Structure 1
């Protein structure tokens, strides 16, 4: 059975709605929250997983712990395995790299991440080109061609990839 990995950057995209150029750095994230920013990635990840669930009958799904994918998989009622240990408090770029490394070791066929260009860099730093990767757009800065245009487009690409 094919293996799909999902990593969610829970803070990606929060700065855009409040006029900031991202949420890179603790100070900027706190400013975004103070200005009323709300998480974007969880909803987009859930939308992606719901569409994948409708399109693929069987798949081995691996997700990051807690707010890095596990919570979204629970909402969609998909069977899954958690990769990595939960982090105390906020997640970091190091958490993304660590979970991506673990997913590579699990042998995922496709690693999907929800975030922005910073998340894309973290995934690339980890798995380079050894694992096929696809981004669900969620960040403020998304200039990389690794991103699908929408969560549904990412799901469609994922379904087609696994169907061959």
Structure 2
């Protein structure tokens, strides 16, 4: 009899947890669950992939002391990349993590975002696209921060990057 009560209690608690953390529900538990999950799961791994890709770019760069220094140290490739292709897989992973955070943890209810980590996700998305040398879609992510999150702590980075 005790086992039946425990299993019913576990099922009820699990059902309440799943329904209580909906992205469409503006509650304290839901906001904090999605903010913490986005920050410490997807955005953390995405930022790690972005830093790994940047380290690879920095290690591949060679200074030429006999030429004028470029403004951007990144070597711009002239080859045309098709959609879905990438030179560096780390930037693709970072972009996928940012998109995953936006899709799974964004709490856009009636035009207002309730998850404070979404500006970080859009910043990661823009940086990953920029370093992957996709210069047309990168400013879209930065401009979205300027448009939707005017009180963000990342507004200055978004202004410089856009």
Q: TM-score, normalised by structure 2?
A: 0.27
Larger relative helix fraction: 2
Whichever of the two has the greater Rg, that structure is 2
Larger relative strand fraction: 1
By relative contact order (CA 8 Å, sep 6+), the higher-ranking structure is 1
